Amino acid sequence: MFCKLSALTLATALLAAPAWADEVAYYREGQELNPVDVATILSGKAPQRVKTRSIHLLGEATPAESAAPVAPTAAPAQALSLQVRFGFGSAEIADVARPQLDALAAGIRMLPAERAVLVEGHTDVIGSDAYNRELSHRRAEAVKRYLSAAHGIDPDRLLTAGFGKSRMIAGLDPTAAENRRVQFRGL
């Protein structure tokens, strides 16, 4: 089921809009990852907002009369990014990365079984374009194998892509460690 649909879905996802322009939730190495947040982001559904009412005492300014501006709400994340640590020039996942990947797997398991996830590998600018594309793809494949072997996630549900150094994080030094990441988006 996933094989024929996956290629079409992947092609559509990669060509539809520039993925690097999406809102991305960035997690640093070791930062706690909540599986519910993972499921929310990868499901493509914005969290529901709770409507509230307020009471104003006589003589108080109402929110409309208040001079303080209301800050705009941030757009919900459409992807999440982890700084998965690998050995230098290798696709071997370091032990320090496993807790975040374990929480990610718990979030993926909360999604409907037919929901696919794109695993994107990214690198910094050190090295040639061809080398970085190949390395980022091998790293995305390593994460896919880990999620499948360690957590029983159907490998057909995990699609991979290696972008190398073509999608740097805006505003960062191109050699910054944050550019060496694995991003996930629901399809």
Q: Report, in this order, helix, strand and coil percent for the chain, each rounded to 5.
A: 40, 15, 50
Angle CA(173)–CA(186)–CA(75) in degrees, nearest 5? Answer: 60
Tell me the per-residue pLDDT of 89-137, one tens digit each, with 9 for 90 and over: 899 999 999 999 999 999 999 999 999 999 999 999 999 999 999 999 9
Written in H, E and C, the secondary structure of 87-118 is: CCCCCCECHHHHHHHHHHHHHHHCCCCCCCEE
Tracing tokens 């970085």 back to the chain, one arrives at: 132
pLDDT at 75: 64
Map out the domains of the chain as residue ranges.
2-46+76-186
Query: pLDDT class for 76, splitting at 50, 70, 90?
Result: confident
Residues sharing a CB contact under 8 Å with residue 147, sequence separation 6 or more, in sequence order: 101, 104, 105, 108, 119, 153, 158
Tokens of 112: 């409907």
Beta bridge partners of 81: 26, 183
Give percent of the chain with pLDDT exceeding 90: 66
Whole-angstrom distance, CA of residue 22 vs CA of residue 131: 26
Beta bridge partners of 182: 82, 121
pLDDT at 93: 96
Determine the average pLDDT of the residues in 9-28.
61
pTM over 0.85: no
Residues sharing a CB contact under 8 Å with residue 29, sequence separation 6 or more, in sequence order: 83, 85, 96, 97, 100
Tokens of 43: 């499901």
Whole-angstrom distance, CA of residue 134 vs CA of residue 141: 11
Higher pLDDT, 93 or 10: 93
CATH number belonging to the domain at 2-46+76-186, selected among 2.60.120.700, 3.40.605.10, 3.30.1330.60, 3.40.640.10: 3.30.1330.60
Determine the average pLDDT of the residues in 169-184.
93
Query: pLDDT class for 4, splitting at 50, 70, 90?
Result: very low
pLDDT at 45: 74
